[in-house]
Structure 1
């Protein structure tokens, strides 16, 4: 049931309800005309006999001005009928002079945070605690809209290149990459896990469609609490068959990124402007550097000693800084990863004499503005080589039979990559914590909302 405002309506019920809904972004096309708006009370002011309501709808904000209105609490959903007038100080340059004001659904209590102000006066954890409301904020929803366009650009480009979208199980009997970062579940009395990656299944599906992709959540039971990790995130996965080597995979990813950025320029420029961010130019050929050379570069140029088998976060930042300064690129592929830093299915590289390397793989990472957003490379397609690799990694071949079986039947050379959608979104928009690039994040300490 809707609640009418106590002020008398200056428009008949018939005329009010016969008007089509107008979005705030379209007000300029209706200057001087009567329109019907629907949205939320973003902000409100009562100056004696005159009331100001900033109405928020899916397309933006507009100021509505009336008198004798009984204004509901912020975030109530309302309907406004009024005349559009140009006003230089109003959001979008136009305001609506209210003729009829109707509460569609009243908020029963004030929001726990003031949404128009929360970017500067709300504790970040409070924003997540009350995410059901704070996600309505203009900047919060802008980030999610950018991500939606990013995913759409990813999907659309791959379809144009002949890829087929697939859907793979998220309840599995074993992990795709080995290791212990799996969430166990009870599957009718049998042990099972939430999938940490669709890797094994998308490889199997190369034998069906040759070129496949998936957009789906994946799960990592890692005990981290950093600004760059989530325990559930959206993975944009690709796998393609009949490749020559990992260069084919990197070239595809290069084209995908070009397409994504083109779509963002076309469809999400307003969101980037709101967030003070710029859409990067993707080089026609993203620069590449082998991992060992990358480690040496950041040590020699910046004096940073890299620990571990991979690049640490500071090394990623410094390497990205180097390529931004020397080649003007926000992107860099780090290639030729050692076997110890890659899963069992990574294809070994070739030695200069053409023999198989026992130490280096055809795996790569893609860094963007100082952080890894992608892992990819060529996979092992030869059955004998795969079984040798499983043994070398000390994995149980029986537990992987559902995966390895397909390699008995002529799998082609293939490879692929996976992009973390939230990480890419966060880096594109300058969001310091990846949790704010997901509507309802799951991290080490958060299961709600």
Structure 2
């Protein structure tokens, strides 16, 4: 069997394993086992054991469970309630008013969560009932929450960036910094759309129910101070070169525990729940990463990445054509898999192609996060859409229709990133220059 035949066989096998309901990690290991046993002619057991161990003992990966634990701790505080009360007075005069609380609230929570689904679920539990009670358009409330929930993947500290950095051997600190401006860009795009929509549909936005003075706004903002300080400490320590991502994650955990203690939500039960939640999630991700690492080395033994890279080079595909093809592939994968699984599942095959096309791996990391964000709300089967269906009980097609404009805005962000790569690369370059 030639390389193309082997590639097709392994891809079909992998999708059959995934379709059977087998865990993603076990599906990856199964495909790797078949590849090495039948097509590589190597010591399968030794190679798998060595790679499995190496992929789970790297110091870089230590940041992952710490950031997840930080998010789990804060998930059990009054953070979301405080954010709504602190942001609402400042949004009252903007066209669309409290709809912007969804966007800014998701942006803030994304910086302490790192998870798209957790961001959408946490902010949604707090904001959707409140917006409905005040008479806001339910479709737009759901749409803003779906679009802004994806910010959990982009705004650092992002779990998916850690996963990509480990898989692609790219600095996680640089990835975090590279995600700042694209995250701000997405927030501005979402808020801009809401402003235009509100101007075109004034009857669908309820009048302001309270005229806040500047002093009242400042007083309400005190609720934002703890989480803003925590975000500044975590991200600022990385950007300033004071701490590595792992050290910053440890700082974030300590800060989250302090916040939880101050708000009165830290007790033996909440501490145990947060620790268990972080352990389960971290083990799941580490297991997937280990499976992907074994599949990567198996692919290397079969020669598939080398042949594919050469094939891309011989075809002379321009970088934009390659990225267009990859975008379509990731959107399709988003119908079946969560973001982390998508990244670890494809890096072993995709990265050789990307390197052969001379695409910067740091820039590509931000691109892939954006595309995965798109996949999370791809109508009608994006992963986050099911989260919102569980929150609202609405028909999945209705939710998909409400979310469609924000999917288009993410497409626009990908186009902007392509034409203006400095959106992702400028801040990391400044960090290096310092």
Task: Give the TM-score of the pair, scaled to structure 2.
Answer: 0.23
* Structure with higher strand content: 1
Using CA pairs under 8 Å that are at least 6 residues apart, name the structure with larger relative contact order, 1 or 2: 2
Task: Give the TM-score of the pair, scaled to structure 1.
Answer: 0.22
* Structure with higher helix content: 2
